[in-house]
Chains A and B, each alone.
Chain A
Amino acid sequence: MSSSLTPDAPAFVAKTSGGRITDFVDQRVGGSGILREFGRKVFPDHWSFMFGEVALYSFVILLLSGTFLTFFFDPSMAETHYAGSYTPLTNVEMSVAYSSSLNISFDVRGGMFMRQVHHWSALLFVASVSVHMLRVFFTGAFRKPRELNWVVGSVLLILSMAAGFTGYSLPDDLLSGNGLRIIDGVIKSIPVIGTYTSFFLFGGEFPGTMIISRLYTLHILLVPALILLMIVMHLFMVVVHKHTQYPGPGRNDGNVVGYPLGPVYAAKAGGFFFIVFGVVAIMAAFFTINPIWNYGPYDPSPVSAGTQPDWYIGFVDGALRLMPGTIGDWKVEQVWFGHMFTFNVLLPALVPAGILFTVMFAYPWIERWITKDNREHHVLDRPRNAPTRTAIGMAGFVWYCVMWAAAGSDLIATHFHVALNDVTYWLRALFFIGPVIAFIVTKRVALALQRKDREIALHGRETGRIVRLPHGEFIEVHAPLDEYKRYKLIGFESPVPLPAVPNEHGVVDRKEKRRAKLSRWFFEDRVAPATPAELEAAHGHHGAHEAVEAAESQKTLSH
């Protein structure tokens, strides 16, 4: 303890005033240690890692623009008569919430711009979270040790949709009011508690006078606080795990190859925030989003045709549209024991979303159980090198997209001049067969790409140069790859199916048999990465070309 006070070890004294302030703070918060730990931390670089950054930055933009909007927005459903500068609605009876939204648009300088920025970045936020999750799924980044971070990310996806929906309804315009009406209908279909839940949410009968202010509290306090908490957890785990990296020469599960945080990575990532903000600003400047003044105030009677929810709610709305309410004369809705079982609403509203999110949350554990792979993975899979996983992902993605497309069934019908009923029938069929087709096609494509990789690794790339040999044969010259490029193509794991293993009692139980079956399904179609011996053999058998190529290069040298 006394050593720090000995006179022969003089304390550091900063020379400039800036240095003295820094030193003052450093001595009290220990910044040097933090900087030493993180200042040069290595981050791998890849364009696909940007989606998560876009999500983070659009959330920051949402906080900034949203705070501005709260200064002018009044979430009251009290009745008022519009007296702002948008003349088509002058003296129209409306809620204070709708009136203040119009004022933000037309009477607050920059208000329209901030509303546009806020709505566009909300759409971008959910989109980038979704695309980021697709990237993580298809590259296998959710594997050990990142399973929990995958779960946190999935929670973030749900929260981002919740944030979007609660915000979407706030202006109390006709379009979002109809959205709430649909939510009310879905809630009422829930057995036992549905009616009570609806009355509790709306403070009585729909639409009541409470819902906007309640959604407002959720939208500006509860949901963003939860999102912030999840983001902190998410980033904390990213630091603990360090970032994943794509496969390539010099990269393995024991290292991380990339640029140091300071300066390159920090500059790129920091600069990227401004780029995202700039792109959102361009969208806000030139593309109208949610022109609430065209819709008018909420009224339970009118509705406009061709209305759409914000994109991320589309898949649920589409599922609602796809479900038939009657099959022949048989009603899907049933009365059992004197109570209503509204299967025509319950099933589409809960089942597809339930399956998607359950599989999404559980997938890391499902794959871990099938593969019995308990190792840490820091090197990503190229999607083609995990054909079954990629096929599962595409099947889910296509399933989602079919439902999403169904939310625009009426627009598809009017744009392409086809019968609305036919669009619905086709989409109903695709709902079931689309994922199957997607699975099969994706798996075949992935395997084909693997074979192509293998061929390029063994035989080199096609140069497009046709050479005629002395005995008249034509060949195309293949240029061999350098060892770095080759390693990228062959440096991956190709697991084989794992047969059932007896447990400690020497018995292969039924669960293990099922696992072995799934393991075979997962891994039986595979393309083994090329080996040095095969490369040797390939070169041997290409003897003729090699002679030509050697001669060619000789010629080049002699110039």
Chain B
Amino acid sequence: MGNHSDGSPNHSGTVATAGQNEVEKFQDPGIPPHRLRLADTDPRAAKKAERQVALLFGISVVGTLIFLVAYFAIDLGNDSSIATIRLQNALLGIGTALAMLGIGTGIVHWAKALMPDHEVSEERHAIRTEEDRQAAVRIVDDIVEETGIKRRPLIRNTLLGAMALAPLPALAIFGDLGPRPDDKLAHTMWAPQDGKLKRLARDPDGTPIKAADVTIGSAFHVIPEGLNELHEGKLNEKAKSVVLLMRLNPEELHPSPGRADWAYNGIVAYSKICTHVGCPVALYEQQTHHLLCPCHQSTFDLTQECKVIFGPASRPLPQLPIAVDSEGYLVATSDFHEPVGPTYWEREQHVLIPNA
């Protein structure tokens, strides 16, 4: 403040004046005098505005016609190209836009230029008058009195009890919305079936992977053998069993005790489902050996058994123990030793002791 350049000492505008009262306040000068518009005084301007409004309505008619022509004249057929759809979409949109904007701007222009623009003042009324309140209280009193609910507490209490219990069936009837979780989240398709170890197969075509095909630095998106042949629950199984397979220099891996035989010749397999909220950890940084989840940027370090080094995840990605079968294909020697994916309340009970 104080930048008016008359060179005078400034007043402090910030000091509150104690006890401002009505006398000291400015009086409300009332609604400012009405100013006439050009169209109010000049008949030619009014006529011009009228023509503009009509023109806008006319544009709307043109828009409607464009829409109809675009709808009926453009044939999508059976083998229409993206370009045809794009053209039709654009024309339908332009037609609708003109049809709507023509009407809308026309009406608004009509209201602003030609309808009276006098501001009017209207009194507000009390939302509730004291008289109404007293009348309502009397009515409620009468109603309560006539039901006798105050005099008959037995009726009141049994009714309250009944009403409190009555909604329970409405809750209970939703009991079949889903099955009990039990330990479904603890198992995946990787568990050996009938003593036969599951082979690691390529996602999405399902062909098994030979250890010899995995060169250093390469990464494979992996599903269990047989997943594609499932008829039911394929996505459910896939959501738990997808795995990332990578090969590093064996010296770069630092397996903890008990996990030394989970890798084969530097090839390691980790669950692809993020331990944060379950997105696929799809990005592999070959140089740094980091795995990155594109959803929330949790970063896991392959050389430290997929320990979390950045982001919102708390737990390492579970490792799938792998080996090679007699034909040279990679197989899972067991299921994951802990549930994959996001944490859930009962998770701790589903964690196996390594190599147990």
Binding site for B on A (CB under 8 A): 41-42, 85-87, 105-107, 109-110, 112-113, 116-117, 145, 178, 181-182, 184-186, 188-196, 198-208, 240-242, 249-250, 252-260, 263-264, 267-268, 270-279, 281-282, 284-286, 298-307, 317, 320-326, 331-333, 335, 338-340, 342, 344-345, 348, 376, 378, 409-410, 420-421, 424, 447-448, 451-452, 454-455, 459, 462, 473-476, 478, 483-484, 486-487, 490-491, 494, 496, 526-534, 537-538, 541-542, 544-545
Contact = CB atoms under 8 A, between A and B. Distances in A.
Contact of A267 (B18, B107, B311): B107
Rank and list the top 3 A-B pairs by shortest CB-CB distance, nearest first: A285-B93, A185-B277, A274-B104
B38 interface: no
B89 interface: yes
Given A303-B295, A527-B14, A483 B344 contact: no
Contacts of A487: 26, 28-29
A517 B138 CA distance: 42
Contact of A205 (B119, B127, B236, B312): B236
B213 interface: no
Nearest to A116: B89
Nearest to B123: A255
A85 B116 contact: no
Contact of A300 (B1, B29, B92, B242): B242
Contact of B181 (A87, A199, A321, A448): A199
Contact of A270 (B1, B24, B29, B107): B107
A203 B177 CA distance: 6
Contacts of A241: 127
Given A340-B345, A454-B1, 16 more contacts: A112-B88, A184-B278, A199-B179, A203-B177, A255-B123, A256-B122, A259-B120, A271-B104, A271-B105, A274-B103, A278-B100, A303-B280, A305-B282, A324-B312, A451-B1, A455-B2
Given A196-B181, A285-B93, A342-B343, A531 B107 contact: no
Contact of B178 (A109, A199, A340): A199
B326 interface: no
B43 interface: no
B93 A284 contact: yes
B93 A185 contact: no
Nearest to B222: A301
Interface residues of B, number: 115
Given A281-B97, A323-B312, A302 B280 contact: yes
B17 interface: yes
A335 B351 CA distance: 12
Interface of B: 1-2, 4-8, 11, 13-18, 20, 24-26, 28-32, 71, 74, 76-80, 82, 85, 88-94, 96-108, 110-112, 115-117, 119-124, 127, 174, 177-181, 184-185, 203-204, 221, 223, 233, 235-236, 238-240, 242, 272-274, 276-280, 282-283, 294-298, 308, 310-315, 341-349
A330 B28 CA distance: 65
Which residue of B29, B127, B312 has the most chain A CB atoms within 10 A of its CB atom? B312
B278 A274 contact: no
A195 B92 CA distance: 47
Given A258-B119, A263-B111, A333-B314, A189 B31 contact: no
Contacts of B100: 274-275, 277-278, 281
Contacts of B92: 110, 113, 285
B208 to A, nearest CB: 17
Contacts of B296: 317, 320-321
A304 to B, nearest CB: 7
Given A204-B236, A451-B1, A475-B6, A268 B108 contact: yes
B13 A249 contact: no
16 contacts: A106-B76, A112-B85, A113-B93, A194-B345, A241-B127, A256-B124, A278-B104, A281-B93, A285-B93, A285-B97, A301-B203, A301-B204, A340-B346, A476-B5, A531-B25, A545-B6
A342 B348 CA distance: 12
Contacts of B315: 325, 331, 333
A307 B294 contact: yes
Contact of B185 (A205, A272, A284, A452): A205
B308 to A, nearest CB: 5
A452 B3 CA distance: 10
B186 to A, nearest CB: 11
Given A249-B31, A301-B204, A303-B295, A421 B93 contact: no
A494 B18 CA distance: 11
B13 A533 contact: no
A258 B79 CA distance: 57
A87 to B, nearest CB: 8
Given A321-B312, A345-B276, A528-B20, A275 B4 contact: no
A264 B122 contact: no
A306 B294 CA distance: 7
Contacts of A451: 1, 13-14
A66 B267 CA distance: 51
A272 B111 CA distance: 11
A300 B238 contact: yes
Which residue of B7, B17, B124, B296 has the most chain A CB atoms within 10 A of its CB atom? B296
A531 B7 CA distance: 23
A284 B67 CA distance: 14
Contact of B308 (A184, A320, A326): A326
A106 B280 contact: no
B108 A528 contact: no
Nearest to A208: B236
Contacts of B77: 85
A199 B17 contact: no
A300 B280 contact: yes
A190 B179 CA distance: 18
Contacts of B123: 254-255
A300 B105 CA distance: 48
